[in-house]
């Protein structure tokens, strides 16, 4: 575990694993030292940005030096269930590569509980962990130029939903009508790091 300087007013806290990163994020989120401007989880590291002169980076560093990252505080316990039409263009491909039927893929994907590990790519796009091993498959060799808003995809160890139409290379399992991001809503993003997510199959 180490700090990496990231310009004058930010640092990356290198956590070695996603589990420890989530623990570090939960620890800093719970204490939220004053002067922290951004707290951005990554796949292995936590980015902390401070207001210049606030000393927040030092405070976070002290906090994490003392933290037990193997027994983190409870994070954002919010739970979200997304209704999904499992009719994605790549459902058959995923089933074939996993050596099972399309119905098995749906059952497997809906049986797991997921957690938003970090965001990025687009506002409201969460990288969700908890994907069953059999569904961990590579991205498409050539990304699609247009993936419709609400598309549910998988890639590597992650699953996620495209909040708006965009290019994308994830294998598509289906789509949801849920609004994932609305900049004028009181809670602009349905998904945020730490939120737990389940998918429910609807016809």
Partner 1 sequence: MVATGPLALVQDLGRPGHAHLGVPPSGALDTGSLRLANRLTGNPESAAGIESVLGGLVLRARSSCTVAVTGPVVRVRVDGRDRGSHVAIHLGEGQTLTIGTPGEGLRCYLAVSGGLAAEPELGSRSADVLSGIGPPPLRAGDVLPLGTPGGVPAGADVVVPFPTGETLTLPVTLGPRAEWIADVERGLAEWWTVTAESNRVGLRLDGPVLRRAAAYADDELPSEGLVTGAIQVPPSGLPVVFLADHPTTGGYPVAAVVRAVSLGALGQARPGTLVRFQPSR
User: Which tokens sit at 52?
Assistant: 């210049």
User: Which tokens sit at 188?
Assistant: 């602009």
- What x/- string results for residues 162 through 201 when contact with partner 1 is judged by CB under 8 A? --x----------------x-xx---xx--xx--------
**Cα-based angle 158, 41, 74 (whole degrees, multiple of 5):** 90
Q: Mapped to the 3 state alphabet, what secondary structure does 81-119 carry?
A: EEEEECCCCCHHHHHHHHCCCHHHHHHHHHHCCEEEEEE
Query: Is 105 or 116 the residue whose CB approaches partner 1 more closely?
Result: 116
Smallest gap from residue 43 Cβ to partner 1 (A): 3
1 is a site residue for partner 1 (CB under 8 A)? no
**Quick one: how far is CA 190 from the chain centroid?**
12
Considering only residues 31, 43, 100, 108, which one is a binding residue for partner 1 as defined by CB under 8 A?
43
Smallest gap from residue 140 Cβ to partner 1 (A): 17
C-alpha–C-alpha distance, residues 146 and 159, integer Å: 18
Smallest gap from residue 31 Cβ to partner 1 (A): 16
Stretch that binds partner 1, among 34-42, 53-61, 96-104, 147-155 (CB under 8 A): 34-42
DSSP letter at 150?
Answer: T
10 is a site residue for partner 1 (CB under 8 A)? yes
38 is a site residue for partner 1 (CB under 8 A)? yes
C-alpha–C-alpha distance, residues 72 and 82, integer Å: 27
7 is a site residue for partner 1 (CB under 8 A)? yes
- What x/- string results for residues 139 through 168 when contact with partner 1 is judged by CB under 8 A? -------------------------x----
Beta strands in the chain (DSSP E): 2-5, 10-14, 36-41, 45-50, 79-84, 114-120, 122-129, 144-147, 151-155, 158-161, 166-168, 171-175, 196-201
- What x/- string results for residues 94 through 133 when contact with partner 1 is judged by CB under 8 A? ------------------------xxxxxxxx-x------
Query: Is 105 or 150 the residue whose CB approaches partner 1 more closely?
Result: 150
């Amino acid at each position: 575990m180490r700090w990496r300087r990231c310009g004058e007013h930010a640092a990356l806290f290198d956590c070695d694993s996603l589990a420890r990163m989530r623990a570090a994020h939960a620890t800093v989120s719970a204490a939220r030292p004053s002067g922290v401007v951004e707290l951005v989880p990554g796949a292995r590291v936590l980015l902390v940005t401070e207001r210049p002169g606030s000393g927040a980076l030092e405070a976070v560093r002290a906090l994490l030096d003392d933290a037990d990252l193997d027994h983190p505080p409870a994070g954002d316990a919010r739970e979200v269930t997304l209704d999904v039409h499992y009719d994605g263009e790549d459902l058959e491909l995923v089933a074939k590569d996993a050596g099972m039927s399309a119905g098995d893929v749906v059952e497997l994907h809906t049986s797991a509980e997921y957690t938003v590990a970090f965001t990025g790519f687009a506002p409201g796009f969460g990288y969700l962990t908890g994907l069953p091993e059999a569904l961990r498959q590579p991205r498409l060799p050539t990304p699609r130029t247009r993936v419709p808003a609400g598309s549910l995809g998988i890639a590597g160890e992650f699953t996620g939903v495209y909040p708006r139409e965009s290019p994308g290379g994830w294998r598509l399992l289906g789509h949801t009508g849920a609004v994932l991001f609305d900049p004028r809503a009181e809670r602009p993003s349905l998904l945020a790091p730490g939120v737990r997510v389940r998918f429910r199959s609807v016809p």
